[in-house]
Amino acid sequence: MTDLAFDVAHLLGALVLTLSFALLYQRRLTTAINVVAMQAATLAAAAAWQAVTRDSPHLFATAAIALIFKAAAVPLLLHWLIRRLNISGTVEPVFGVTLTMGLGVGITGLAILLVLPITAGETLLLREDLAFALAVTLIGPLLMIARRNAVIQVVGFMSMENGLILAAVGVKGMPLVVEASVAFSVMIATFIFGVFFFHIRERFDSLDVSRLEEMQGERHG
Amino acid sequence: MSGVDQWALIGVAQTTLLALAVGGCLTNRRPVLIVPLYALAGLACLITLIAALGALLTAAPDAASRLVLPVGLPDIRSHLRLDGLSALLLVIVNTGGVAACVFGIGYDAHAAQPARVLAPFPLFLAGMNLVPLADDAFTFLVGWELMSLASWLLVLADHEHADNRRAGLVYLSMAAFGALALLMAFGALAGASGSYTFDAMRAATPSPRIAALAALALVLGAGSKAGLAPLHVWLPLAHPAAPSHVSALMSGAMTKVALYALMRGLLELTGTPQWWWGGILAVIGGLTAALGALQSLTQNDTKTLLAYSTIENIGVITAALGLAIAFKASGQRLEAGLALTAALFHALNHALFKPLLFLGAGAVLHGTGTRALDRLGGLIHRLRWTTPLVLIGCLAIAAVPPLNGFASEWLVFQSVLDATSLAHWEMKFATPVVGALLALAAALAAASFVRFFGIAFLGRPRDAAAADASEVAPSMLAAMAGLATLCLAFGALPGVPLDPLMRVAATMVDATGAMDRLLLGQGEGRTAWLAVAPHGDVTAVYAGLIAALGLAALTGLTVGLVSLASGSRPRRGPAWDCGFPDPRPQTQYTAASMAQPLRRIFGSVALAARDRVDMPAAGDTRPATFTSTLRDPAWRYVFDPLTGLVGRAADRLNALQFLAIRVYLSLMFAALIGLLAIVAIVR
């Protein structure tokens, strides 16, 4: 592998991770959606670059799926939902931004600590790619629990899935069907979340998921 | 008989049983099917019995016939194996099965919903037949669970009573716990390679720690089914709740299947046993025996009394098995063989006299409609045929020579005496204690059955139900008579069953060829079966036939002399008034009063037995009351605290059910990060 190929792949992987951090401090809903779309686009670029350098054309399909669905279709859908529900604005994080970012840095450190010793003997690109991917995958759920807003939870879910795909494109021989099925499941999940938005909005006039706790029925003990 | 024939016979019989379960579902609408269904089930048991007897008597001791069925999990299939021990278990299960089916013909004919019994009953038999044949963990557990679930349904056959529903719940939880423990044991034995066939487990040599863990799980799993203290609490609830012929099978056969799992597991599958496993098992067995006998003495319900007596006998067998393991671990093969032979013989004998007694209790229940000892009495006059058969069972279980119970308990005690030769000082201390506990249990059991027979069959009827009792159907009598005949025969000629049992035991403890000495004079042209001599010489010899003939001669002589002196015909006249001032039957000994001295001596400590007399003051017209309470120590010290703990924990954890989605996500995330951090740090 040439130095250029390595550098570009490394750059793109790091960019995906950086965008995850951008999501963590983002308070505006529309910007968060844009950031996750950018993350998906970067992921598509990473996949395409792997397809070129490794000469494995099926990764172009992965890149296309990421670009069409996750960088375009789902964000557009979410923007439409926000307009439709008229909920654009800012979302207050549960923890302070500093704490959230600190947790993100800790998770990234943990991911590197975990992945690098396991993958000793593999190529440097694969090892760092996997560490980035694990960090992105773990920051997704962190985002989901650090915000009360349901739209941000979808964004966190998509970001988590981006991390999975990033791991998949870094590993040789991962069949396309895995990526296709993951992408499909994200589509389904987005639709379910969409229906769910309408319902909680209709009932509570808010997308704050903490309102749902009132629906848990009678408490015991 | 060749191996193929045996498998064909067993296969046909077991398939028939499975098919009969379908037929059993129809009996609610077509009661006419009951008799043919029981007859066919009995026939299936008889066929299996013949095949198993053929394998037990003719095969070479260590020859095992195998069969791999193409059903079951992919790549694993079902491995079956018929060796001496499996054949013995099939003999035990199917002897009881034949008797229960014959008894069931008369017993179930008038039941309201016969399908509740007849649908699970053949499955129960098939499950008990599958377990000893299984040669891989999956087949074993399938058979085990079939046996457990079918018997659970049978316990719930009469589900209208709240007591039975509670028994079913306790039994089901205990069965689930036992199956889980067995699963753990097999998982530990299969190891990382995951080979679940018993052959692979026999070949593997697990590390001592894994072997000990597997042994512990086996004792918990199989012991809970067998009724080892303190896991016995379900047994006195569940065994009596089922119909009597099912109780007979549960006590006579299912507990033996559980002991089979213990024997197979501890002696074969866990590698070389450690001496302390045997020591612990022997002590548990001794405690179980004493506790069971003591509880049996205090019960008022005939079938509960018999269930506690089952616990006592399981304790005796387990103690002998524990000694066999300790001997095998110490390299004393001859003594190990003797102890295991004693365990197997007592298991076989218990599988004869306990079903006999349960069927007898069933006959009493059928004839009088009650199980309460305090309402019985004087049945000897009404149940003329049942009484002598039950008496034979009582004498056998009380270990009175020349019956079979004496022969096997005598062998167990010979093993206990042998245990002084064990090298470890812990065993030297423990075995006399075990011996004392077993002796106490034997004495208490004898007292218990004197009480059972005396209160139920002798004296005068305490209740109209007993006064109007009617003799039961011939088929029920035939079932009891067959078992009683075997009790007499095995008592008089213990060498006949001991010969194959000895060969089975010798194979299990690798003492083949060295075990001839158990039967006096074997190999020297003398009659082998006449006398049993565990030490090979005349230091301890039991000749059942001579004892039987001697006792018969003495009894005949006494009866002859008495009748000669007293005239030919018994006369009935008025009772002597000073000895018999009050003719009401309440003035007789009752079940509770007969047990009271022993209950006070032993029960006040062991069972927390308390007697409270509430005597009204002079002039007060309310009745005086006497209440006697006792509580099994297993409930007091193990299960009550345990259920309390589970209840409190459930109350606390209930809050977890009502958290916000985000908190659930946080918990999952924190758990994931925590685990990853552990991985990162530990490595």
Beta bridge mates, B627? B612
Inform me whether the C-beta atom of residue B651 falls under 8 Å from chain A C-beta atoms. Answer: yes
- B1 pLDDT band (50/70/90 cuts)? very low
Residue B499: predicted pLDDT: 84
**For residues B93 and B255, what is the distance between their CA atoms, to the nearest angstrom?**
10
Tens-place pLDDT, residues B194-203: 788 898 888 8
Q: Which domain holds residue A134?
A: 3-210
A60 inside domain: yes
Among A24-33, A192-201, B73-82, B622-631, which is the least confidently predicted range? Answer: A192-201
Whole-number mean pLDDT of chain B? 89
Tell me which residue of B101, B94, B184 sits closest to B131, measured CA to CA. B94
Residue A56: predicted pLDDT: 78
In this prediction, residues B301-318 reach a mean pLDDT of: 96
Residue B526: predicted pLDDT: 43
Give chain A's contact residues with B (Cβ, < 8 Å). 94, 107, 110, 113-114, 117, 138, 141-142, 144-145, 148, 209-210, 212-213, 216, 219-221
In this prediction, residues B222-239 reach a mean pLDDT of: 93
Question: Percentage helix, strand, coil, to 5, in chain A?
Answer: 80, 5, 15
Partner-chain residue, chosen from A114, A216, A219, that has the shortest CB–CB distance to B679: A114
**For residues B567 and B616, what is the distance between their CA atoms, to the nearest angstrom?**
52
A216 inside domain: no
**For residues B93 and B95, what is the distance between their CA atoms, to the nearest angstrom?**
6
- B525 pLDDT band (50/70/90 cuts)? very low
Tell which wins on pLDDT, B14 or B70. Answer: B14
- A221 pLDDT band (50/70/90 cuts)? very low
Inform me whether the C-beta atom of residue B679 falls under 8 Å from chain A C-beta atoms. Answer: yes
Tell which wins on pLDDT, A210 or B279. Answer: B279
In this prediction, residues B610-628 reach a mean pLDDT of: 87
Tell which wins on pLDDT, A178 or B13. Answer: B13
3-class secondary structure per residue, B344-412: HHHHHHHHHHHHHHHHHHHHHHHHHCCCEHHHCCCHHHHCCCHHHHHHHHHHHHCCCCCCHHHHHHHHH
In this prediction, residues B142-147 reach a mean pLDDT of: 95
Tens-place pLDDT, residues A70-97: 888 888 888 888 888 777 677 777 778 8
Q: Percent of chain B at pLDDT above 90?
A: 54
- A206 pLDDT band (50/70/90 cuts)? low
For the cut 50, the answer to whether the pLDDT of residue B523 exceeds it is no
Instruction: Tell me the chain B residues in contact with residue A141 when contact means C-beta distances shorter than 8 Å.
Output: 665, 668-669, 672
A63 inside domain: yes
Residue B61: predicted pLDDT: 59
Tell me which residue of B306, B314, B305, B324 sits closest to B287, measured CA to CA. B314
- B646 pLDDT band (50/70/90 cuts)? very high
Inform me whether the C-beta atom of residue B675 falls under 8 Å from chain A C-beta atoms. Answer: no
The answer to whether residues B65 and B81 touch, using CB atoms and an 8 Å cutoff, is: yes
Residue B659: predicted pLDDT: 77
What's the domain count of chain A?
1
In this prediction, residues A118-133 reach a mean pLDDT of: 79
Instruction: Tell me the chain B residues in contact with residue A216 when contact means C-beta distances shorter than 8 Å.
Output: 658
**For residues A50 and A61, what is the distance between their CA atoms, to the nearest angstrom?**
12
- B128 pLDDT band (50/70/90 cuts)? very high
CB spacing of B665 vs A110 below 8 angstroms: no
Tens-place pLDDT, residues A142-168: 988 888 777 788 888 888 888 888 888
Inform me whether the C-beta atom of residue B565 falls under 8 Å from chain A C-beta atoms. Answer: no
A33 inside domain: yes
In this prediction, residues B264-291 reach a mean pLDDT of: 92
CB spacing of A221 vs B651 below 8 angstroms: yes
Top-confidence range, A168-182, B111-125, B212-226: B212-226
CB spacing of B655 vs A110 below 8 angstroms: no
DSSP per-residue codes, B26-79 = GGGT-GGGHHHHHHHHHHHHHHHHHHHHHHHHHS-TT--EEEEES-SSTTT-EE
Tell which wins on pLDDT, B25 or B514. Answer: B25
pTM: predicted TM-score of the whole model, two decimal places: 0.81
For the cut 70, the answer to whether the pLDDT of residue B59 exceeds it is no
- Using CA coordinates, name the residue in chain A closest to B657: A219
H or E stretch including B332? none
Residue A220: predicted pLDDT: 45
Top-confidence range, B68-72, B422-426, B448-452: B448-452
CB spacing of B683 vs A148 below 8 angstroms: no
Tens-place pLDDT, residues B18-42: 999 998 888 888 888 889 999 999 9
CB spacing of A212 vs B660 below 8 angstroms: yes
CB spacing of B660 vs A210 below 8 angstroms: yes
Q: In the numeric block, which tokens belong to residue B163?
A: 């007591």
Inform me whether the C-beta atom of residue B667 falls under 8 Å from chain A C-beta atoms. Answer: no
Residue B12: predicted pLDDT: 92
Give the ipTM.
0.82
In this prediction, residues B83-93 reach a mean pLDDT of: 94
A125 inside domain: yes
For the cut 90, the answer to whether the pLDDT of residue B359 exceeds it is yes
H or E stretch including B610? strand B610-614
For the cut 90, the answer to whether the pLDDT of residue B237 exceeds it is yes
Among A150-164, B288-302, B396-410, B575-589, which is the least confidently predicted range? Answer: B575-589
Tens-place pLDDT, residues B458-498: 988 888 888 888 888 899 999 999 999 999 999 998 888 88
Q: Which of B663, B666, B669 to mutate to test the interface with A (most CBs of A within 10 A)?
A: B669
Residue B529: predicted pLDDT: 62
A221 inside domain: no
- B644 pLDDT band (50/70/90 cuts)? very high
In this prediction, residues B256-269 reach a mean pLDDT of: 94
A218 inside domain: no
In this prediction, residues B161-187 reach a mean pLDDT of: 93
A219 inside domain: no
Tell me which residue of B393, B93, B386 sits closest to B249, measured CA to CA. B93
Whole-number mean pLDDT of chain A? 80
Beta bridge mates, B614? B625
Pairing of strands B610-614, B625-629: antiparallel
Which amino acid, one-letter code, is at B425?
A: W
Residue B2: predicted pLDDT: 54
Residue B408: predicted pLDDT: 93
Among B101-105, B127-131, B270-274, which is the least confidently predicted range? Answer: B270-274
